[in-house]
Amino acid sequence: MPETDTPLTSIRARIDAACAGAGRAPQSVTLLAVSKTRGADEIAALADQGQRHFGENYLQEALDKMPALADRGLAWHFIGPIQSNKTRDIAAHFDWVHTVGRAKVARRLNEQRPDHLPPLNVCIQVNVDDEASKSGVALDQVEALAAGFADWPRLRLRGLMAIPRADSDDHNRAAFHALAMTLSQLRNTMPALDTLSMGMSADYTVAIEEGATLVRLGTALFGPRPPKDTR
């Protein structure tokens, strides 16, 4: 019987096609389902289809959902802004953090990662367009922050993450290329780095062509969010 066509299977097919066009293996790209504002039942439905990686932006919302999904073997990624007073719970409950842009935050995550857990996977968030409204370090500051991870054994630096300015495919391609080149330079001294977290619903195929290893998709997987109740 042919596999039922779902948003998940359709997106995986597009990822496979983008990988093929770029001469890459399909397994070189991980799909991260952005599950902010989605209920545990919606996450479970995707998990039943084989989706394993889920990204959350809001700490308390994520902590409220996690217990109902604890037996699913899911990998939880924190992809929202990090406040210093939230680092303890992030360090204790997540497998990945994509939004580390300050040494202070990295130090706190390292100190607060429980000893019984493996090192926390971390991506440095890069502000590729130097936008005042966005978090992250400038491209020319990445190397200095990356060097600090030698002092943080409870963290495992995996690579870089960016959210380019919503502009055009040409602009985003240039931003993705700049991030990929920065990672390539870092790998001269840190060869274990393996992650480029970049690309969302509107531009993930362009990101894959430029080397993304992890793409972050939300509405394309879950459908539109229900309207807020204004009663």
Q: What is the DSSP letter of 137?
A: B
CATH of the domain at 183: 3.20.20.10
Q: Is residue 101 part of a domain?
A: yes
CA distances from 107 to 88, 101, 176 (A): 11, 11, 28
Per-residue pLDDT at 1: 33
Residues 169, 206: Cα–Cα separation, whole Å: 7
- Name residue 129's amino acid: D
Q: Is residue 145 part of a domain?
A: yes
Q: Is residue 230 part of a domain?
A: no
> Within 10 Å of residue 33's Cβ, how many Cβ atoms?
24
Q: Is residue 42 part of a domain?
A: yes
Tens of each residue's pLDDT in the chain, 231 residues = 345 789 999 999 999 999 999 999 999 999 999 999 999 999 999 999 999 999 999 999 999 999 999 999 999 999 999 999 999 999 999 999 999 999 999 999 999 999 999 999 999 999 998 877 788 999 999 999 999 999 999 999 999 999 988 777 788 999 999 999 999 999 999 999 999 999 999 899 999 999 999 999 999 899 887 665 444
Domain that holds residue 207: 7-222
Per-residue pLDDT at 229: 45
The alpha helices in 148-228, defined as continuous H runs, are 169-186, 204-209, 219-222
Q: Which residues contact 183 (CB under 8 A, 6 or more apart)?
A: 159, 160, 193, 196, 211
CB 122 within 8 A of CB 97: yes
Q: Is residue 1 part of a domain?
A: no
Q: Is residue 228 part of a domain?
A: no
Q: Is residue 123 part of a domain?
A: yes
* Domain count for the chain: 1
Question: Can you list the positions of beta strands (E) in the chain?
Answer: 30-34, 53-56, 75-78, 96-100, 120-126, 155-162, 195-197, 214-217
Q: 88 — phi, psi (to 5°)?
A: -60, -45
Per-residue pLDDT at 212: 98
Q: Which residues contact 82 (CB under 8 A, 6 or more apart)?
A: 90, 97, 99, 100, 105
Q: Is residue 12 part of a domain?
A: yes
